[in-house]
């Protein structure tokens, strides 16, 4: 492992100054369940200067805001979210999704910010191949074994899938985020935060956060009346793997009529993928068992599987069918 320097700032402002000073050589260090592994894997792209944000007090909280929504500090551990009564009461689907991330031990170390901004888990990147994300110019996943963690919906240089589950669930709630930047606070929707492979500061990454910015808060709007939400995830090993396909779905239902729908797939694309065609189809329909066949038939029409991963599309469609079936059974 290369030599690293660790800074322990006590304020967000100080952390931003440190990040600005070291440019892309620096990285935010919180739970370390992604970053430390990148260092151990000796990846070229791993930072040399770690800015440890764990000592910054005002990044770790879960609190109800004035509008009835919930604000979560990004240094909050996933286990704290999983144990939160407030989240369980207001957004049980989010707690369900968080409980499916990794293992209890890792949830006790991982933070919400780390889960949202984690690096992809492509075996070629993590194995030190000189790929797009590791200083090289070729995606080995596109031509090698892409059965598990590569996109079945096309790619943009890198074909690895976005691995986080929290973002997939939070997009279904229309959550927003706050970024601390040298120029002040910036607000984005969760979708804008993780739009898929982007070139940011000369690097390819799944999110838009620049080298001198820190993700500080996630804000979830108050639950809408009549909302029903579900999260489902298929993974190679049920204990702790990343999603081969996942689905976060949120339906606002009144008198069995779907007034609004959010359908977000995870694990199949370079970003949490909103399936807007299905959302449009569902709006105004009566929530009933026969809905799923039609929804599945129009879902993921622009799928572009690689050689070994077309099964991910079948899995995603299966999750859509089962999710709608469960929701209609409750109705």
Partner 1 sequence: MHAIEGILFEPVGCLAEFPAEPFHEIATRLFGGRRKTSKSGSRAYWHLLNLIEAADRKLDPSEREMVESLEVQAVDGASAYDDVVPALSELKAIGTRLLVASSLSNAAVTRFLERSVPREHFSAMWSRDNAGGVKALPLRSALHCASLNPERTMFLTDTAEGLKVAKSVGVQSILMMNDPDEAKRLAMHDPAGGIVSLYELPDFVRLLAARNA
Which residues bind to partner 1, rule: CB under 8 A?
Answer: 132, 136-140, 142-144, 155-157, 159, 199, 201-202, 204, 306-307
> Pick from 186, 233, 229: which is nearest to 208 by CA?
186
Two tokens at 289?
A: 């068992």
Q: Please, which residue, 69 or 155, has the CB nearer to partner 1?
A: 155
Q: Please, which residue, 197 or 217, has the CB nearer to partner 1?
A: 197
Q: Please, which residue, 156 or 326, has the CB nearer to partner 1?
A: 156
Two tokens at 166?
A: 């929290």
- Nearest approach, Cβ of residue 178 and partner 1 (Å): 26
- Nearest approach, Cβ of residue 313 and partner 1 (Å): 17
Q: Please, which residue, 88 or 130, has the CB nearer to partner 1?
A: 130
- Nearest approach, Cβ of residue 208 and partner 1 (Å): 15
Q: Please, which residue, 51 or 139, has the CB nearer to partner 1?
A: 139
> Pick from 114, 124, 101: which is nearest to 267 by CA?
101
CA distance 239 to 255: 38
- Nearest approach, Cβ of residue 307 and partner 1 (Å): 5
Instruction: For residue 258, give the 3-state DSSP assignment.
Output: strand
- Nearest approach, Cβ of residue 34 and partner 1 (Å): 22
- Nearest approach, Cβ of residue 201 and partner 1 (Å): 8
> What is the side-by-side strand order in the sheet with 273-274?
227-234, 245-254, 257-266, 273-274
- What is 144-210 written as a DSSP string? S--TTTB-SB--BSB-BPP--SHHHHHHHTT-EEEEEETTEEEEEEHHHH--SSEEETTEEESS---
Q: Which residue has the tokens 């702790």?
A: 240
Of the CA atoms within 13 Å of residue 243, those in its CB half-sphere come to 36
Two tokens at 179?
A: 């970024």
Q: Please, which residue, 268 or 287, has the CB nearer to partner 1?
A: 268
Q: Please, which residue, 24 or 88, has the CB nearer to partner 1?
A: 24
Dmax over CA atoms of the chain, in Å, equals 61
- Nearest approach, Cβ of residue 131 and partner 1 (Å): 10
């Amino acid at each position: 492992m290369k030599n690293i320097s660790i800074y322990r700032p006590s304020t967000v402002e100080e952390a931003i100054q440190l990040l600005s000073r070291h440019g892309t050589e620096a990285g935010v260090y919180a739970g370390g369940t992604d970053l430390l592994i990148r260092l151990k894997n000796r990846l070229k792209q791993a930072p040399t200067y770690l800015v440890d944000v764990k000592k910054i007090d005002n990044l770790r909280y879960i609190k109800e805001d004035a509008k009835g929504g919930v604000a979560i500090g990004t240094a909050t551990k996933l286990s704290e979210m999983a144990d939160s009564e407030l989240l369980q009461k207001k957004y049980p689907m989010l707690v369900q999704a968080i409980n499916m991330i990794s293992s209890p031990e890792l949830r006790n170390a991982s933070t919400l910010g780390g889960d949202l901004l984690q690096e992809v888990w492509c075996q070629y990147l993590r194995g030190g191949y000189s790929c797009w994300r590791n200083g090289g110019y070729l995606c080995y996943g596109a031509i090698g074994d892409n059965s598990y963690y590569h996109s079945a919906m096309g790619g943009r240089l890198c074909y690895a899938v976005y691995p986080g589950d929290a973002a997939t669930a939070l997009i279904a709630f229309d959550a927003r985020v706050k970024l601390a930047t040298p120029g002040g606070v910036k607000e984005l929707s969760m979708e804008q935060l993780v739009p898929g492979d982007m070139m940011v500061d000369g690097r390819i990454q799944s999110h838009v956060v620049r080298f001198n910015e820190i993700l500080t808060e996630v804000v979830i709007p108050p639950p809408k009346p009549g909302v029903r939400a579900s999260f489902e995830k298929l993974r190679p090993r049920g204990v702790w793997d990343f999603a081969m396909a996942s689905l976060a779905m949120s339906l606002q239902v009144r008198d069995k009529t779907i007034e609004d729908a959010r359908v977000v797939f995870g694990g199949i694309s370079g970003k949490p993928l909103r399936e807007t065609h299905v959302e449009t189809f569902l709006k105004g329909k009566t929530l009933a068992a026969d809905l799923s066949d039609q929804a599945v038939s129009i879902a993921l029409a622009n799928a572009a599987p690689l050689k070994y991963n077309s099964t991910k599309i079948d899995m995603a469609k299966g999750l859509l069918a089962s999710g709608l079936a469960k929701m209609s059974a409750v109705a």
